[in-house]
Amino acid sequence: MPHLLDDPHHDGSEIYVPPGTPALGDEVPVRVRVPAGGTERAVWVRVVEDGEPRVVPARLDRADAHERWYVATVRVHNPVTGYRFLLDEPGGYRWVDQRGVHARDVTDAHDHRLSVHAAAPAWMHDAVVYQVFPDRFARSAHADARPLPDWAAPMGWDDEPVATGDTGRQLAGGDLRGVQDRLDHLQRLGVDTLYLTPVFPGRSNHRYDATSFDHVDPLLGGDDALVALSAAVHARGMRIVGDLTTNHTGAGHDWFRRALADPASEERSFYYWTAQEPGYVGWLGHRSLPKLDHGAPGLARRLTAGDDSVVARWLRGPVALDGWRIDVANMTGRYGADDRTHEVARTIRATMRAVNPDAVLVSEHFHDAGTDMTAGGWHANMNYSGFSRPVWTWLADPAGGTPALGLPVPLPRRPGPDAVAAMRDVDAAVPWAVTTHQWNLLASHDTPRTRTVVGTRALQEVAAGLLLTYPGTPVVFAGDEGGLTGTTGEHARVPMPWADVDAGGGPRWDAATFATYQRLIALRRSSRALREGGMRWAVVADDALAFVRETADERVLVLAARAPWAGAELPAWLAPDGAENLYGGAALDRVEGTGPDRGPVLRLPGDGPGVQVWRLR
């Protein structure tokens, strides 16, 4: 099996581009590595300024027996400045962009990018996020005393959620004190950032149909419960991120009720109105979710802009959230000819920066978010397109029949090259500063469970291995670490089986999978290369993927295999002092190669399914 490490390479990590956010007018040195066997006569950088390309010569910076490094200067003339490398070689030229190396002309869409927009806060490099759906995580001793609202159908804690139909009415009664009581579980797992789906009152168990942004749902314990939970999280050195709907409210929201009651009210301008039933625009036609019109000046003042806005209020004490995940970010501010998405995102970020410069702003897109991630608004996106879907299609249980998310077809099982091509396409649409902070996830409250998608404990370990070693911020949906199952997003919102968790395992809790997640999270924390390093694909086979993560002081090799495969040989110089296995236990043997030069190589084992991680230096 041939390897890919003889390809020229550049990415936005520290060994190629200086760390930090450049300013307009800065001149930034950018480096590219070329294998010693390359035939380049010269190297250039093509830069686009004000829409016009120009080429800048690169000079040889250093060389050894294995590689040559070239450096060129890129002037940051535009807020987002694109560039790619040009290699002049006998027989023609090649380009090096974010998708790889091309012996043909390519579009600018996948160029490397320098952005003047600040990256996500530094703590995101180290973060492992844990998503909690409050109604299904844990019930406190106070939950039974709360009256059941008229919209709800009570659900036993051990009941199976319905998968389709009127799923929003089932109420299991989880609350915020229940989350607080179980923070030890999060710390045992090793996560350090709690992400809560909405806590504002609504008329559903998911609460994405808010009836107010002014207080926490009494069913969850009210404002005092969120204050106490936040204080407990912060006391443990952890962070807490909230969830806000800026695209719509619920039909029972205070603003919408005033808009209906008084056509002359300011709130009337907050929504889109039509002559067709029901008289207003609902998100995707849902009359329970009236869509907000961000062209209304008063809406920005109330929701997104300034110190008195909803965005700002919950970032301040006593709650002091550490950031927001924005629901339906892709549609926020967009309707027909209106497109204010970037304006809204930048407004939210500016408001957050004024209250807490270290707060993170994450968008929800289920599809290609590339154009929205370069505008200086969202720090990162929930990376369904660039991580979840490709990993699902590579590891999917062929007999599982899991539906492809958002499509009227089953989820296919595809070979490694197809999965990697999708990952590279999506990664290449955004700056490296975004890629390295994307919220990578294997499941969420909107998707089937990981165990259901892949089918086995062994393949879930492979999936988790990719999650905890790939560039970006790993996100674990509560319960995935114990192998919980679910066929749809709604069916996956199964209450945490605490009796089995507390017993150290049981029919509904896979203790071995929990231990796997613990080890992989600890591995990530032990390696700066896995948290911050660049990324080079080394092997892309049908049944195995290998890549190198690298910082100035560390080089790590990751191998994920979904089945037994042929193995591969990598250059021995990658590990000058030998390889140390960090996960999986397999040796990375230095042997005589089978290629024409018969020189020493590192032999990748062909076992599978499984994950192996080695430190090479």
| pLDDT tens profile 203-251 | 999 999 999 999 999 999 999 999 999 999 999 999 999 999 999 999 9
Does 179 score more than 90 pLDDT?
yes
Radius of gyration of the chain (CA): 25
Which pLDDT score is estimated for 354?
A: 98
The whole-angstrom separation of Cα 35 and Cα 14 is: 19
- Same-domain pairing of 264 and 378: no
Does 472 score more than 80 pLDDT?
yes
Select from 70, 99, 115 the last residue of a domain: 115
- Same-domain pairing of 172 and 307: yes
Per the domain annotation, does 344 fall within a domain?
yes
Does 380 score more than 90 pLDDT?
yes
Which H helix or E strand runs over 131? strand 129-132
The whole-angstrom separation of Cα 290 and Cα 302 is: 17
Work out the average pLDDT over 90-119: 97
- Same-domain pairing of 148 and 232: yes
Which pLDDT score is estimated for 406?
A: 87
CATH code (residue 36): 2.60.40.10
Burial label, 317 (beta-carbon count in 10 A; 0-12, 13-18, 19+): exposed
Distances (CA, A) of 32 to 59, 243, 536: 10, 40, 12
- Same-domain pairing of 31 and 128: no
| pLDDT tens profile 534-553 | 999 999 999 999 999 999 99
- Same-domain pairing of 162 and 179: yes
Does 28 score more than 80 pLDDT?
yes
CB 333 within 8 A of CB 293: no
Work out the average pLDDT over 590-612: 90
Per the domain annotation, does 22 fall within a domain?
no
Per the domain annotation, does 167 fall within a domain?
yes
Edge-to-edge order in the sheet of strand 59-63: 27-35, 67-75, 59-63
Domain that holds residue 520: 122-249+294-529
| pLDDT tens profile 38-72 | 999 999 999 999 999 999 999 999 999 999 999 99
- Same-domain pairing of 93 and 206: no
The whole-angstrom separation of Cα 97 and Cα 99 is: 5
Read off the tokens for 220: 């969850």
Work out the average pLDDT over 18-30: 97
Mean per-residue pLDDT over the chain, rounded: 97
Strands 439-441 and 473-477: parallel
- Same-domain pairing of 229 and 240: yes
Per the domain annotation, does 8 fall within a domain?
no
pTM of the model: 0.97
- Same-domain pairing of 284 and 301: no
- Same-domain pairing of 427 and 303: yes
Structural domains in the chain (count): 4
- Same-domain pairing of 424 and 554: no
CB 280 within 8 A of CB 272: yes
Select from 480, 514, 529 the last residue of a domain: 529
Does 401 score more than 90 pLDDT?
no
